[in-house]
Structure 1
């Protein structure tokens, strides 16, 4: 027994697996065509005690820590869900932590708790049309006007931006650089705030993604998250968790792709014999297993470390970077080999591996592109 397979966590994994098989697997193809998840799934996940795992009961969550959150992610993907489902269903995982860290009781009551119950859907607005990973140089501006901020600018690639009821938004309230960034909660329906357009993507089809525009949007000062010009620190404190979450999606998707490939290889006959009887196929499966296991080991070790190490600790930052890049390398190779083993069927939309192949590509881009993270690691390591 270890931290990952205690009786309680085994029960959690089994519960999430059953939920996935009952609520997600029969419907995911339709959700992919629809371009979004139904809001009823959030309510169902909350009722099943899944939506708030990893968040304290004080903010409306179910309790547990990063290991419990990881088990939920692994179980959903490995039971036939997808990283797209994770991204959309658990968007509060990137929208709410900054609010919780600010300890603003009013904002927690208004936005965090309803997100945990499935009554509200939140999103995080950082990326802008003119920039991606360069968070310190955002241009969306918020100017103080009495009891309000007047916001002008745009955000893009915003997960759950179409369905979202509120956006935890990075804005510039001060001078240039990271010291002038603040966070504001901007509610849907506020005059001047528009979903400019939903975005069509290579993958994550069931996760709605939007471009948002802000034209003289008046946001109450009471919606400020933390201190004015203190938003970059709140964002930075979540970088480690975001990257570990994507690493989890990576190794879990790789495991699902391996499972699908192994099953197909045993069932598919070629020239009178199962595909799995071919040495080249067996060797592919072994290499897929090795890379997946390595990514899982590195990621889980980093998650365990995060339970006792501050997210601002350089060693913790490095471990998160290494976990994400290792998982990206593994999942991109494993899903490609899984499609190859499936042959022509792997190229069909009716095949599940098609979804994972498309979905995996974003993991090396979101949360900091692989190249950006490698460069950051080189600086932290002194190379």
Structure 2
């Protein structure tokens, strides 16, 4: 990617180091991990050792104290550019860790954040249920206060990092009558009654461990309530905007990867006595994609700085997520078309990117939900 004024020299150094890590230790193993359906745990520890996990965490908890979302942006961009969908660093660092940072007690931060930074404590968040989808107010998982603990019962699905995670933030209903009466709980792997169900077989993102989770009479200590009781819905809503911004950044990075893969291919592939790139249709298709990418980049960079300033608007984040995920879908499809039959082969990265990109229009709020958010604000 061409350096942008948006970044400082420190960000570019961080980018160089992270890009080298991906090139040396991640990309060579992508096919192996896709076949295994999992990224090995030692990769998380290696990422932590190199300082790539939750750099915003304060130094007293083992972090770098870099409260600048541009570092998260670099990670999301480079994972997209590397066509890496299994190593969910953005979920861990940019989506889930901020819950503990923003709402956690001092004791919770001391207990969990050092492992979050080192890679010894992989994070997940469990919101989606088999019958609820994007409707958080319809969550059925329940937690009842029983003296010194909460009793947690329910089921979650489509949980990214569901197998690898050590700590899961679980959304559960705690108010018997209030529709939005949810609370968030820090639930550790290995607790009695907490069961990891089947690892889900997806059409893309094969190395990303997505699973079902079950909670049967799980005893959650009262000190593992995150924030205040019955305030979970508000906390989830507060964190959805940066989550959608992170997804938007990753989508744009993946679309740039599709463009780069295709440019390289069409400048080498011959047809009817000339390069594919020499056909006007090819050049026009790729020029249109590049233009949309560059326009979208300006919007994302602006929103990142607004997030740094504490003024990221939920509607803007929804628009960004809608635009970039839809753009990724168009770009991946149009680029694959230029590969012809080879694009449909799993051995070609463009085909795997195309399949993995499809869910970007669904997770973190579907395109239809994003349109509804925007429409309500009109």
**The TM-score by the shorter chain falls in which range?**
over 0.9
Residues 12-41 of structure 1, C-alpha deviations (whole Å, 9 max, x = no match)? 111111111001110011111111111111
TM-score (norm 2): 0.95
d(CA) in 2 for partners of 1:162, 1:287: 40
For 2:167, the equivalent position in structure 1 comes to: 166
d(CA) in 2 for partners of 1:220, 1:244: 33
Runs of 4+ off more than 4 Å: none
Distance 1:349 1:168, change over 3 A: same
For 2:260, the equivalent position in structure 1 comes to: 259
| Aligned positions of 1:213-362 closer than 5 A | 213-311=214-312, 316-362=313-359
Distance 1:81 1:116, change over 3 A: farther
C-alpha deviation, 1:269, in angstroms: 0.9
Equivalent pair of 1:183/1:225 in contact (CA under 8 Å): yes
d(CA) in 2 for partners of 1:42, 1:216: 30
DSSP-derived class of the 1:109 partner:
helix
Equivalent pair of 2:91/2:124 in contact (CA under 8 Å): no
Match of 1:29 among 28, 31, 42: 31
Equivalent pair of 1:261/1:341 in contact (CA under 8 Å): yes
1:380 matched to 2:377? yes
DSSP-derived class of the 1:267 partner:
coil
Residues 37-77 of structure 1, C-alpha deviations (whole Å, 9 max, x = no match)? 11111111111111223433344323331111101221232
d(CA) in 2 for partners of 1:54, 1:90: 14
C-alpha deviation, 1:326, in angstroms: 0.8
d(CA) in 2 for partners of 1:89, 1:103: 19
For 2:16, the equivalent position in structure 1 comes to: 14
For 1:141, the equivalent position in structure 2 comes to: 142
Please provide the CA RMSD for this pair.
Answer: 1.6
For 1:112, the equivalent position in structure 2 comes to: 113
C-alpha deviation, 1:302, in angstroms: 1.3
DSSP-derived class of the 1:83 partner:
coil
Which moved further from structure 2: 290-299 or 224-233?
Answer: 290-299
Distance 1:92 1:175, change over 3 A: farther
Distance 1:371 1:177, change over 3 A: farther
Equivalent pair of 2:157/2:211 in contact (CA under 8 Å): yes
Equivalent pair of 1:160/1:209 in contact (CA under 8 Å): yes
1:151 matched to 2:148? no
For 1:208, the equivalent position in structure 2 comes to: 209
d(CA) in 1 for partners of 2:277, 2:234: 51
Distance 1:183 1:340, change over 3 A: same
C-alpha deviation, 1:301, in angstroms: 1.5
For 2:125, the equivalent position in structure 1 comes to: 124
For 1:5, the equivalent position in structure 2 comes to: 7
DSSP-derived class of the 2:229 partner:
coil
C-alpha deviation, 1:2, in angstroms: 6.0
d(CA) in 1 for partners of 2:4, 2:201: 42
Gaps of 5+ in 2: none
Which moved further from structure 2: 58-67 or 141-150?
Answer: 58-67
C-alpha deviation, 1:233, in angstroms: 1.7
d(CA) in 2 for partners of 1:177, 1:279: 60
Equivalent pair of 1:295/1:330 in contact (CA under 8 Å): no
C-alpha deviation, 1:88, in angstroms: 5.5
Distance 1:276 1:77, change over 3 A: same
TM-score (norm 1): 0.94
d(CA) in 2 for partners of 1:177, 1:35: 40
